[in-house]
Amino acid sequence: MKIEVIYPEICNLYGDLMNAEYLARSCGAELVNTGLKEKPRFLSEKIPLVFMGTTTERGQELARDAFAPWLDGLKQRTRAGGLTLLTGNALELFGEYIQEEDGNRIPMLGLFPIHAERRMMARYNSLYLGKYGEMDIVGFKSQFSHSYGDNGEGLFTTTRGAGLNPGVKAEGLRWNNLMATYLVGPLTIVNPPFAKELLRLMGVEEPHLEFEEAAMDAYRTRVEEFSDPNRGFTYH
């Protein structure tokens, strides 16, 4: 079993890469890295999970250019039910464009009918509490932009914090098993139930996480913390 990490040389901010590593370590999968100048393996091999993490603003353009030839392959994979996880601003690559402060629009891959609006001097930092089905999701947002447009029901339903933007409850994007979220960092580690769900979707029959007990202990503490209405939720 393989997990493919797309463009780790640029899509590696905020500990995001640990998501793929944790899942791989939990199910014994092989982690394979695909660089900017390489053809993704999911186009020709059975890859149960494709992962792409957060990058810089320059990185978004490099990743867009590198991935554009393979977009149809991703569509085919997604129609067939293949699992893909995008975290942080990797989500924006698959919108229509990113609008900068001066109005300049940077075209993106256009898979989803959304666009991002970037404000480099107004970084948004927030905790996140939401739901994936009945499952509590906790996480962190730290971003220069929000996205706008139709994201349907999104990936998560927000309880506290921002959805795709602070005005909506639906967080992230979902098309079949293509999942994208603005949450950054060790999403799978701080959400062991969600990590197990991803393993199930990868085809692991009885998923068990590495150090699951310790992960669940930290998760329960965080869910309790983030559910406390007296807990501040944004960073200034």
Partner 1 sequence: MKLRFILALWAAKLSQPLLKITGHKGTNFPGELALKLCPEFLRYIAKPARIVAVTGTDGKTSVTNLICDMLEASGQRVLSNRAGANTNAGVSTCLLSGATIFNRTRFDVAALEVDERSAGRVYPYVKPQLIAVTNLFRDSIMRNGHPEFIASFLTANLPAESRLVLNADDLISSSVAPDNPRVYFGLDRLPTDVTDCINRLNDLRICPKCAGKLEYEYRRYHHIGRARCADCGFRSPDYDYEGKDVDLANMTITVADKSGSQTYRLLSDSIFNIYNLLTAVAVLREMGMDHQTIAGLAEKIDIVSSRFQAEKVGQVEVVMQMAKDRNALACSRAFDYVASRPGEKEILLMMNNLSDEVEWSENVCWLYDCDFEFLNNEQITHIVTTGPRGKDYNLRLRLAGVPEERISWARKEMDAADKLYLRPGSSVYILYGADNRSLDMGFRVREKVVKLAEEAGK
Q: Binding residues for partner 1, per CB under 8 A? A: 8-10, 12-15, 17-18, 22, 25, 36, 56-58, 62, 120, 123, 125, 127, 140, 142, 144, 184-186, 189-190, 210-211, 214-215, 217-218, 221-222, 225-226, 231-236
How many Cβ atoms sit within 10 Å of the Cβ of residue 223? 16
Write down the least CB distance from residue 184 to partner 1, Å: 6
Residues 156, 136: contact at Cβ < 8 Å?
no
We find the least distance from the C-beta atom of residue 166 to partner 1, in angstroms, to be 16
CA–CA separation, 228 and 215 (whole Å): 20
Nearest by Cα to 21 from 233, 229, 185: 185
Of 151 and 181, nearer to partner 1 (C-beta) is: 181
Q: Which of 163, 202, 200 is nearest to 181 (CA)?
A: 163
For 46, half-sphere exposure in the C-beta direction (CA atoms, 13 angstrom radius) is: 4
**Residue reference for tokens 């932009």:** 145
Q: Which is nearer to partner 1, 117 or 210 (CB)?
A: 210
Least distance (Å) between residue 80 CB and partner 1: 31
Task: Pick between residue 27 and residue 178 the one whose CB is nearest to partner 1.
Answer: 27
Tell me the closest approach of the beta carbon of residue 12 to partner 1, in angstroms: 7
Burial per residue of 115-150, b for 16 or more beta-carbon CB atoms within 10 angstroms, e otherwise = bbebeeeeebebbbbbebeeebbbbbbbbbbbbbee
Q: Which residue has the tokens 């997990």?
A: 3
Distances (CA, A) of 217 to 17, 104, 157: 22, 46, 23
Contact in structure between 90 and 55 (CB atoms under 8 Å): yes
Question: Shortest distance, CB of residue 35 to partner 1, whole angstroms?
Answer: 8
Taking the complex as a whole, the smallest distance from the CB of residue 77 to partner 1 amounts, in Å, to: 26
Strand order in the sheet with 170-171: 135-143, 124-132, 156-160, 170-171
Considering beta carbons, is residue 144 or 194 the nearer one to partner 1? 144
Q: Which is nearer to partner 1, 118 or 174 (CB)?
A: 118
Write down the least CB distance from residue 124 to partner 1, Å: 9
Nearer to partner 1, 105 or 123 (CB): 123
CB closer to partner 1 out of 119 and 149: 119
